[in-house]
Amino acid sequence: MSQRTDEYLRGVPLMPYDLLREGLTALLIVALVVVALAAIFSSPDYPPVRSEDVARLQPVAYLKTSASFLAGTSGIDGYGPPYTNDTANAQSVFGLAPASWLGVRIPLDPAQDFVLKPLGHAAALDPALNDALSSYTDASSDQQAAWVKAYLAALDTAQVQNGEVKLGSGDYGPVAVMMDGMLRLGRGGLLEGALESDAHLPYSLDFTRSLLFFQDDVDANVASSLDMTGDQWGVSHETGGYPGAWWLWPYTFLYQVPFIAVSDNADLLIGLIMLVIFLLLVFTPFIPFWRRVPRWLRAYRLIWRDWYRDHGEGRPEAQPGGSSPGSRDSPGG
């Protein structure tokens, strides 16, 4: 120790303490408890939402999702950066929109990337699907829109019989054949692979398209059934009734503040608030006014109330067997 430390601790009773052994012992005990609890109670994880499950159990919802990409009515079409150039929807605060600064980093054309390209892979083995794709791509944009609009309207009254989706009569053009191809892709468990088929690595590590495919309706409905949506404090608990990341409650609490909860810029507002709080904590020792707040609040007197009850404001002289600023129950301990 330094000479100043030696002078400060002169006369204070000291004892050797093996902090490393204490820490390792605590770590071992906690690890054993965690492993035992995990073996007994297992994990509350909900099974992933897969395309084959959606296509098999909710074929109409699957087809509505697929057709919405062709219609240009999906949430991705108007999302803005980092997927599209529609910066009008980028979240902003005081005119500042950080997402627009970074631009489109994951360019997506929903109709092409989510429907036409996956169907193009399947069409190599299906002549009827190939002809339908050719008819669709050769048609005018107005004709394409009319076919898709009629198909989406028919899905509202569609019936599912023996796993097959039965539509009423209407002019759907090649869209009905294309959507049947999408349904077969999903039921065969091939949709995710077709969506990510442009990866250049032996193992794809980018599942952006797969995650975005069902995010509008299917994933939102599953999250709602599990109480995992934002208006239900979803990020603060696991699926079902299990507790989750309780340490995130300051972050999720902000989503319940009335003016933030209804704001289109809620994510950016909360991110900036958390950033300001973080910077205040990091730079507290260097901010003249802010660093004196603990002295004004005097919360430390509550923490060390026993010491202040016995010794008041002054620093007592060290006495054998007594409390002192260097002992465990003192403010300096």
**Confidence (pLDDT) at 47:** 81
Distances (CA, A) of 257 to 170, 261, 288: 48, 6, 30
Which segment of 193-197, 267-271, 322-326 scores lowest on mean pLDDT?
Answer: 322-326
**Confidence (pLDDT) at 197:** 61
List Cβ neighbours of 267 (8 Å cut-off, separation of 6 or more): 91
**Which comes out higher in pLDDT, residue 240 or 29?**
29
Task: Match 């997506």 to its residue by tokens.
Answer: 108
Which segment of 27-41, 146-160, 171-185, 295-309 scores lowest on mean pLDDT?
Answer: 295-309
pLDDT, tens digit, 9 for 90 and up, residues 90-148: 888 888 888 888 888 889 999 999 999 999 989 988 999 999 999 999 999 999 999 99
Which candidate, 72, 67, 47, places its Cα nearest to that of 57?
47
* CA–CA dist 91, 99 (Å, integer): 7
Segment 39-59 mean pLDDT = 84
pLDDT, tens digit, 9 for 90 and up, residues 265-322: 888 999 999 999 999 999 988 988 888 888 888 888 888 888 888 877 655 444 444 4
* CA–CA dist 148, 131 (Å, integer): 17
**Confidence (pLDDT) at 198:** 58
* CA–CA dist 206, 299 (Å, integer): 48
Which segment of 6-10, 213-217, 222-226, 227-231 scores lowest on mean pLDDT?
Answer: 227-231
Can you state the angle between helices 175-187 and 141-155, rounded to 10 degrees? 60
Which candidate, 117, 112, 109, 102, places its Cα nearest to that of 77?
109
* CA–CA dist 188, 195 (Å, integer): 14
**Confidence (pLDDT) at 155:** 94
* CA–CA dist 325, 327 (Å, integer): 6
**Confidence (pLDDT) at 314:** 56
pLDDT surpassing 80 at residue 264? yes
Structure tokens at 288: 């003249």
**Confidence (pLDDT) at 193:** 85
**Confidence (pLDDT) at 318:** 42
pLDDT surpassing 90 at residue 251? no
pLDDT surpassing 50 at residue 332? no
Over pLDDT 70: what percentage of the chain? 86
Task: Match 């004709």 to its residue by tokens.
Answer: 143
**Confidence (pLDDT) at 227:** 74
**Confidence (pLDDT) at 96:** 85
For the chain, the straight-line distance linking the first and the last C-alpha, in angstroms and rounded, comes to 16
3-state SS string for the chain: CCHHHHHHCCCCCCCCCCHHHHHHHHHHHHHHHHHHHHHHHCCCCCCCCCHHHHHHHCHHHHHHHHHHHHHCCCCCCCCCCCCCCCHHHCCCECCECHHHHHCCCCCCCHHHHHHHHHHHHHHCCCHHHHHHHHHHHHCCHHHHHHHHHHHHHHHCCCEEECCEEECCCCCCCCHHHHHHHHHHHHHCCCHHHHHCCCCCCCCCCCCHHHHHHCCCCHHHHHHHHCCCCHHHCHHHECCCCCECCHHHHHHHHHHHCHHHHCCCCHHHHHHHHHHHHHHHHHCHHHCCCHHHHHHHHCCHHHHCHHHHHHHCCCCCCCCCCCCCCCCCCCCCC
Which segment of 32-36, 151-155, 184-188, 219-223 scores lowest on mean pLDDT?
Answer: 219-223
